[in-house]
């Protein structure tokens, strides 16, 4: 599966380098770094990570407008993709009924001062990751989870959307140094500073033993909302602790920013199953790679679609910048 460089995630601008690895031997977790003074209602990163462990309680689905910005360190080029994302927690009536899934559909591409309509869809259905280009009626998909196994696309260090929600604090601290920071620390852009106003910032830096295998030099995530212990019966579901923005820097120095705008959850966020599907579409050119498949040639369009092969070395647009043209809400 390809890594999006950022989320989420968030969901992701879900186009990027190779998917992160798993299974590394991890040392015992160390406590998170403490700020000079509390940030928001959290004394330190440890307290925030504890709140995030249960922040997905009752979360069934999430929908948001998304803006994905990527600036390439070497060339200095910048691209922005704007669209919408859906996240399915796989929970129905309070019980886990299926895998965690996500889809991101980008409809607008901005390169420099040029803006054009260009649709790109990225889907993870719990087993397959698919990259769709509707305008060219082609898709590539790769099996990333064996039948019967499960995978969390939000798991930091393993998933394409490195946004810790509902993850064990100990698992995160085994792999990363965690630090709680004021919302605007390291945010130089005025529009972005306004966007993260009222949030708390979590900075994750790979521990020394993981730096050689980790895609990112650092991950910064901004959250806003009430922790599970602060929520009351009168609070709206959208008042819960949720990600607002994420920023990563990869090993090449490229910086990606993802903003989630107009976030809705559960009943307010119905899933669009037509977008969530990673199945081949009739009449499309499909390139498919199984979990243990050898490279193969693309499948030509057919009545049923589908086939097997290895994803093309697709020309990947340089990834995108932050928030919609107007200041997002």
Per-residue pLDDT tens digits for 87-138 = 998 888 888 888 888 899 999 999 989 999 999 999 999 899 999 999 999 9
Q: How many Å separate Cα 279 from the centre of its chain?
A: 21
Domain for residue 62, yes or no?
yes
Helix, strand, coil shares, percent, the chain, to 5: 10, 35, 50
Look at residue 256 and tell me if it is in a domain. Answer: yes
Residues 10-25 have pLDDT tens digits of 333 222 222 333 334 3
Q: Is the pLDDT of residue 322 over 50?
A: no
Do the domain assignments include residue 137? Answer: yes
CATH number of the structural domain spanning residue 228: 2.50.20.10
Which residues in 163-186 are b (16+ Cβ under 10 Å) and which e? bbbbbebebbbbbbbbbbbbbbee
pLDDT digits (tens, 9 = 90+) for 22-58: 334 334 455 555 554 556 689 999 999 999 888 888 8
Predicted pLDDT of residue 163: 56
Residue recorded with tokens 């243990």: 292
For residue 20, the cross-strand partners are none
Q: What pLDDT score does 22 carry?
A: 37
Share of the chain above pLDDT 70, in %: 71
Domain count, the chain: 1
Q: What is the pLDDT of residue 226?
A: 83
Domain presence at residue 311: no
Calculate mean pLDDT across residues 160-172: 71
Domain hosting 39: range is 7-289
- pLDDT surpassing 80 at residue 221: yes
Nearest to 161 by CA among 313, 53, 19: 19
Task: Check residue 94 and give left, alpha or beta (phi > 0: left; psi -120 to 50: alpha).
Answer: left
**In whole angstroms, what is the distance from residue 266 CA to residue 247 CA?**
26
321 occurs within a structural domain: no
Closest CA to 214 of 20, 7, 13, 16: 20
């Amino acid at each position: 599966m390809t890594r999006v460089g950022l989320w989420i995630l968030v969901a992701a601008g879900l186009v990027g380098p190779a998917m992160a690895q798993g299974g590394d031997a991890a040392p015992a977790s160390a406590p998170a770094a403490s700020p000079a003074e509390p940030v928001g209602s959290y004394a330190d990163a440890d307290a925030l990570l504890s709140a995030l462990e249960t922040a997905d309680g009752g979360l069934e689905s999430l929908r948001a407008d998304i803006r994905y910005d990527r600036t390439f360190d070497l060339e200095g080029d910048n691209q922005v993709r704007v669209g919408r994302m859906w996240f399915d927690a796989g929970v129905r009536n309070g019980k886990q009924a299926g895998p965690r899934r996500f889809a991101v559909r980008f409809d607008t591409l901005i390169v420099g001062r040029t803006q054009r309509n260009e649709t790109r869809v990225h889907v993870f259905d719990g087993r397959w990751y698919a990259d769709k280009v509707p305008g060219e009626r082609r898709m590539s998909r790769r099996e990333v989870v064996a039948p019967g196994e499960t995978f969390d696309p939000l798991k930091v260090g393993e998933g394409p959307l490195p946004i810790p929600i509902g993850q064990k604090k100990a698992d995160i601290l085994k792999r990363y140094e965690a630090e709680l920071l004021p919302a605007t620390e390291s945010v130089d852009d005025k529009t972005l500073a306004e966007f993260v106003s009222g949030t708390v910032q979590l900075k994750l830096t790979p521990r020394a033993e993981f730096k050689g295998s980790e895609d990112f030099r650092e991950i910064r995530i901004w959250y806003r909302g009430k922790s599970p212990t602060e929520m009351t019966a009168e609070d709206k579901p959208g008042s819960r602790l949720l990600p607002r923005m994420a920023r990563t820097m990869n090993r090449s120095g490229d910086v990606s920013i993802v903003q989630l705008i107009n976030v809705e959850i559960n009943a307010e966020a119905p899933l669009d199953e037509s977008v969530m599907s990673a199945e081949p579409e009739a009449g499309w050119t499909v390139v498919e790679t199984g979990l243990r498949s050898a490279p193969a040639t693309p499948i030509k369009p057919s009545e049923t679609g589908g086939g097997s092969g290895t994803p093309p070395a697709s020309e990947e647009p340089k990834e995108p910048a932050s928030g919609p043209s107007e200041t997002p809400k």
